[in-house]
């Protein structure tokens, strides 16, 4: 049997799956605490060693993704807030980044100070359609160069001045990578080149720069940021399933929502988005999570009128405890019920925002009525008992009070074996194995 190891080094746990490369079946899996306090290789090797134990496999390839150390923090600098800056934000999210700052227009002293304060790992510099405005892009490149900015910059703006912008930054010692324009013309969003450039910068600069491991081995093993791998897996799942789908991943610090929608007449006409639409999209809700961000879930649920004062007063102390003790695991049914309720609220609020376009800036939001598959992910769902996981997803599918149209006929499933990230890592080199894993998710 030919096998490969697919591993995700998360902020808390490292998960390892052993996959049959010929049939795509899951052979074994294991997890270990992510050893961010020492060297992340320790936790990774422990998880992989446990997964491979007793298999007798040799020369097994490792395919690794990582969100340890905060993952990929991206800042976007664009020309106009509702067009190129928004297009850059959408592309950054599709590349698996946590977009921590968006600036629009000409950078001044105050804007540069705010940009530095965001502590981004990468800056995506965009602006102007091809043949359109070039002055703002050149101005911003000049300001970054004069400020001796040392954060890697991906340039994906007006193609007419691409080489000039690269020259300005490179001459000042700024690490610079050039990609195709994310918005070559109004209403056309072209994310592929910039997404690949961000991925390569993440691998070259960010992984090693976070000092997660003492040597170079870990940086050589990592192939993608975890959200990037998951979105790639979600895209492959849509092809296998043959229809629109939504994935909601409830994590300890954030809740991510991914959707794949079939392009149709919504992509054109007078209501067309001038910043372009991504029919394969991701939003990140940094205030919604099971542990670090649990108090944010309670606050958001109150604002959305999902809970009243009595339930708020009951949930708030439990959420605070989870935020101060991220390793907390409930030991009884009552504790698990609180976890399930927080997860249901996080998932419901996150999908509401995604559907409304809150995280994408889309004026008309995202039409999820034709979604046929709702996939739940995250440790709280994978480790749920009885009907706890089903209850979390049912809360999303029966949410008729959020101002968005719920899916009309969606089937809920839970990514119990954590195959989406693994499939995303496999699909380029081992597509048969990736599709086999995804078919197992669909049952």
Give the end-to-end CA distance of the chain in Å, rounded to a whole number. Answer: 23
Asked if residue 47 lies in contact with residue 16, where contact means CB atoms within 8 angstroms, the answer is yes
**Cβ atoms within 10 Å, residue 187:** 15
Question: What is the rounded distance in angstroms from the CA atom of residue 266 to the CA atom of residue 262?
Answer: 10
355-358 long-range contacts (CB < 8 A, ≥24 apart) are: 355/402, 355/404, 355/405, 356/402, 356/403, 356/404, 358/283
Gyration radius of the chain over CA positions: 22
Handedness of CA 43, 44, 49, 50 (dihedral sign): positive
φ, ψ at 29 (rounded to 5°):
-150, 160
Tokens 């605070």, located at residue: 320
N residues, the chain:
443
Both tokens assigned to 112:
């540069």
170-178 LR contacts (CB < 8 Å, sep 24+): 171/145, 172/144, 172/145, 172/146, 172/148, 173/148, 174/144, 174/145, 174/148, 174/149, 174/150, 175/150, 175/151, 175/201, 175/205, 176/152, 177/152, 177/153, 177/201, 178/154
How far apart CA 132 and CA 402 sit, in angstroms, is 39
CA-to-CA distance for 57 and 134, rounded, in angstroms? Answer: 56
Are 96 and 139 in contact, with CB atoms under 8 Å apart? no
Q: What's the token pair of residue 186?
A: 């109004």
* Total Cβ atoms within 10 A of residue 251: 26
Q: pLDDT tens, position by position, for the chain (443 residues)?
A: 799 999 999 877 899 999 999 987 999 999 998 888 889 999 999 999 999 998 988 889 999 999 887 778 899 999 887 777 888 888 888 777 888 899 999 999 999 999 999 999 999 999 988 998 899 999 999 999 999 888 999 999 999 999 999 999 999 999 999 999 998 988 788 888 998 899 888 888 877 777 888 888 898 899 998 888 999 999 999 999 998 999 999 988 889 999 998 865 444 443 444 444 457 778 888 889 998 899 999 999 999 999 999 999 999 999 999 999 877 888 888 999 999 999 999 999 999 999 987 655 555 678 899 999 999 999 899 888 878 888 999 999 999 988 888 899 999 999 999 999 999 999 999 999 999 999 999 98
């Amino acid at each position: 049997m030919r096998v490969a190891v697919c591993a995700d080094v998360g902020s808390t746990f490292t998960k390892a799956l052993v996959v049959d490369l010929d049939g795509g079946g899951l052979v074994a899996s294991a997890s270990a605490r992510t050893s961010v306090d020492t060297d992340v290789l320790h936790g990774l090797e422990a998880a992989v060693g446990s997964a491979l134990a007793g298999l007798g496999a040799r020369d097994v390839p490792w395919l690794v993704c990582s969100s340890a150390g905060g993952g990929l923090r991206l800042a976007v600098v664009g020309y106009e807030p509702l067009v190129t800056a928004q297009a850059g934000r959408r592309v950054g999210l599709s590349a698996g980044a946590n977009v921590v700052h968006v600036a629009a227009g000409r950078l001044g002293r105050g804007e540069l100070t705010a940009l530095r304060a965001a502590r981004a790992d990468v800056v995506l510099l965009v602006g102007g359609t091809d043949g359109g405005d070039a002055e703002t892009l050149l101005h911003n490149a000049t300001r970054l160069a004069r400020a001796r900015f040392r954060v890697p910059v991906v340039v994906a703006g007006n193609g007419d001045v691409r080489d000039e912008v690269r020259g300005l930054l490179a001459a000042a010692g700024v690490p610079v990578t050039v990609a195709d324009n994310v918005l070559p013309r109004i209403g056309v969003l072209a994310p592929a080149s910039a997404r690949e450039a961000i991925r390569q910068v993440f691998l070259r600069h960010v992984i090693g720069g976070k000092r997660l491991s003492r040597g170079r081995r870990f940086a050589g093993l990592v192939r993608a940021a975890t959200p990037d791998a998951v979105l790639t897996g979600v895209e492959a799942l849509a092809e296998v399933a043959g229809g629109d789908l939504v994935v909601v991943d409830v994590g300890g610090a954030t809740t991510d929502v991914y959707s794949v929608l079939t392009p149709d007449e919504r992509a054109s006409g007078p209501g067309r988005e001038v910043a372009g639409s991504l029919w394969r999209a991701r939003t990140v809700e940094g205030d919604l999570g099971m542990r670090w961000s649990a108090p944010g879930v309670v606050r958001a649920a109150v604002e959305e009128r999902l809970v009243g004062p009595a339930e708020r007063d009951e949930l708030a102390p439990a959420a605070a405890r989870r935020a101060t003790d991220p390793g907390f695991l409930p030991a009884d049914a009552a504790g698990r019920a609180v976890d399930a309720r927080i997860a249901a609220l996080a998932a419901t609020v996150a999908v509401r925002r995604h559907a409304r376009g809150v995280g994408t800036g889309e004026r008309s939001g995202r039409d999820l009525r034709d979604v046929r598959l709702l996939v739940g992910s995250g440790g709280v769902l994978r480790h749920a008992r009885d009907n706890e996981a089903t209850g979390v997803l049912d809360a999303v599918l029966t949410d008729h009070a959020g101002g968005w149209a719920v899916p009309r006929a969606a089937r809920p499933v839970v990514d119990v074996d954590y195959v989406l990230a693994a499939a995303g890592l496999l699909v380029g080199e081992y597509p048969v194995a990736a599709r086999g894993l995804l078919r197992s998710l669909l049952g």
